[in-house]
Amino acid sequence: MPSYLGAIGTANPVHRIAQPQIADFMARALAFGDNDARKLRALYRVSGIEHRYSVLPDYGQANGDYTFFPNTPDLEPFPSVGQRMAVYRREALPLATEAVRDCLRQVPDVAPASITHLVTVSCTGMYAPGLDIELVKALGLRPDVRRTCVNFMGCYAAVNAVKLADAFCLADANARVLIVSVELCTIHFQKSPEEDHLISNALFGDGAAACLVQAEPLPNGAPSLALQAFHCGLEPDGHDDMAWHINDFGFEMTLSSYVPKLIQRGIGRLTADLLSNLPVQLADIRHFAIHPGGRKILETIETELGLTHEDNRHAYRVLRDYGNMSSATVLYVLRDILANASPADHGAPVLSFAFGPGLTIEAMLLQLTVSNEQLAIDRSEEANEPEGVLIEAALAVK
């Protein structure tokens, strides 16, 4: 029997900053001349991102109004790892707690004391006693809840968390696993004109996501995702093209422009391997939850797998509204799929990908489950629709 993922909650910091404002901050911070600043703003315009969220207001402030970075022309002395981790420790718990509460509001029959396992995910900060223990206290979880931390794996880490949750549920039918991913990417801004840093500074934002995994569909009839299969691919040639290192002035992301080509080379084989022992073909899949690592990555996958922009619409929307939030991002995409599920989607397969250092490509096959209770509610609502509305809907379909 499969395990089921559902009730995905999300949370973002209060600072919602437009992409052009962030570009202006970066141009000032890097002391770019007019020509380089024009190129930088062009990079931000074609990113597919309109807004990102940050725990730091500085990216939307005029020079001299910063609260974290020094109010000096060159931002010196540049914040240390210790200063950045202090921000992480202050901001991660409230954001993670908000995401969990958003998750649990969707399942009022699930009490925090019924959670048997807690899996926390992050690659942007660490401390001990850590976020997992603080969440136990903040949420009123049982002190004997089984805690696992998935740290520093990058954007694909949420898939590994889901794998863990699936294993827990397969081993114990009474397991109820809470996954919490929180990423504060923007605290690791690097003041460097290197291409890798320019690209990563243009993409990453802050956010948190939480979801439940258990051995049966959600108790309130909400749509769930049955976990069908997992597969991991590794492109060793990309070892140096996507990496994540702790240095003196924060965590440094290496993200070269060659990454889409590496994904292009491996995505077809990975998909074939995932589906090889399953009664599902790529042509059968109409729902896709692809980690929006960047616009070029999404377009590359579309070309290789024969997808349309519409097939990828959930990923594009998340990229547009939030940017790349590392491990939390794919859960935002899955949340959109669940939020838009209809009775017609019952039993439909969902193909999901996420990418990270290595170069690692993780894949999941899931299946939408809309319970009989939810089907009955939806059909009842359809029956109560005014006749004119139904006629208009029928004409729209034609």
Buried b (16+ CB within 10 A) or exposed e, 158-189: bbbbbbbbbebbeeeeebbbbbbbbbbbbbbb
Distance (Å, whole) CA 3 – CA 170: 7
Coil, strand or helix at 230: strand
Contact 218, 212 (CB under 8 A): yes
DSSP 3-state assignment of 118?
strand
Handedness of CA 391, 392, 394, 398 (dihedral sign): positive
State the catalytic residue, choosing from 103, 123, 155, 169: 155
> What is the rounded CA–CA span in Å between residue 294 and residue 260?
9
For residue 169, indicate whether it is catalytic.
no
DSSP letter assigned to residue 64: T
DSSP classification of residue 239:
T
Please give the radius of gyration of the chain, using alpha carbons only, rounded to the nearest integer. Answer: 21
CA distance 145 to 127: 19
Largest CA distance in the chain: 68
Q: Tell me which residues are annotated as active site.
A: 155
